[in-house]
Amino acid sequence: MRVLLIDDHALVRKGIEELLQSRGVQVVASVGSGEEGVRRARELPADLILLDVKMPGMSGIDTLRALRAAEVRAPVVMLTMSREDADLAAALRAGAQGYLLKDIEPEELVPALQAALKGDNVMAQELVGALARLVGGKGGPAPAAPRPPAPFAELTPREREILECIADGMSNKMIARALDIADGTVKLHVKAILRKLGMRSRVEAAVAAVEQGLGRARRTPGLRV
């Protein structure tokens, strides 16, 4: 796995870089600003980008948006000290594949990045409650700018049904059992849903679905998306 690290704190970058390298991860570049991060992301073959949230100048969220605008397709995982609901919401809406805290146990970081590389959404356990509030619309922060209406009309009835299940925090296996279809069929539908909505992750789709009034409000604190 090749990782691009973007964090404005030099000591933090050095520590994370050494941790990753000690576990067989190649750090293709370690940079201290969002502008430099976007430039290097376009030049280097990174499999995944590890990005801080709170940075001077171009923030982590702005950097994430710039990466997507530059058509950088590598998954982005936020690694931050911020536990603010607003930062979590902004990161997910901008297309982050995960949101981890810098006090994560060292042995947990690489497995989380490997999961994100496989397409899973990774979330700090301490923030599951905040994610549930966000997806459930229970006291979550308002987005900085309103999301344009998602093209839900393009979804088939089955895709819409599966999207409602995603909004309810159901995994693919749970959806397959609930709808009496194969796991592989659910995966194909999820890919089609994300493509039609122009989104990169289940979390982003779940947030958009709830904002548009979908979902059956069966969410629990142990939400997985």
pLDDT in tens, 5-24: 999 999 999 999 999 999 99
Domain ranges of the chain: 2-136, 152-211
Give residue 129's pLDDT band: very low, low, confident or very high (50, 70, 90). low
Q: How far is the C-alpha of 38 from the C-alpha of 36, rounded, in Å?
A: 5
CATH code of the region 152-211: 1.10.10.10
Q: What whole-number distance in Å separates Cα of residue 117 and Cα of residue 121?
A: 9
What is the end-to-end Cα distance of the chain in Å, rounded? 24
pLDDT tens digits for range 24-66: 999 999 999 999 999 999 999 899 999 999 999 999 999 999 9
Q: Average pLDDT in the 178-197 region?
A: 91
In the chain, the amino acid numbered 20 is L
Q: Count the alpha carbons within 13 Å of 121 in the hemisphere toward its beta carbon.
A: 25
- The CATH number given to 2-136 is 3.40.50.2300
- Which has more pLDDT, 96 or 225? 96
**Is the predicted pLDDT of residue 70 greater than 80, yes or no?**
yes
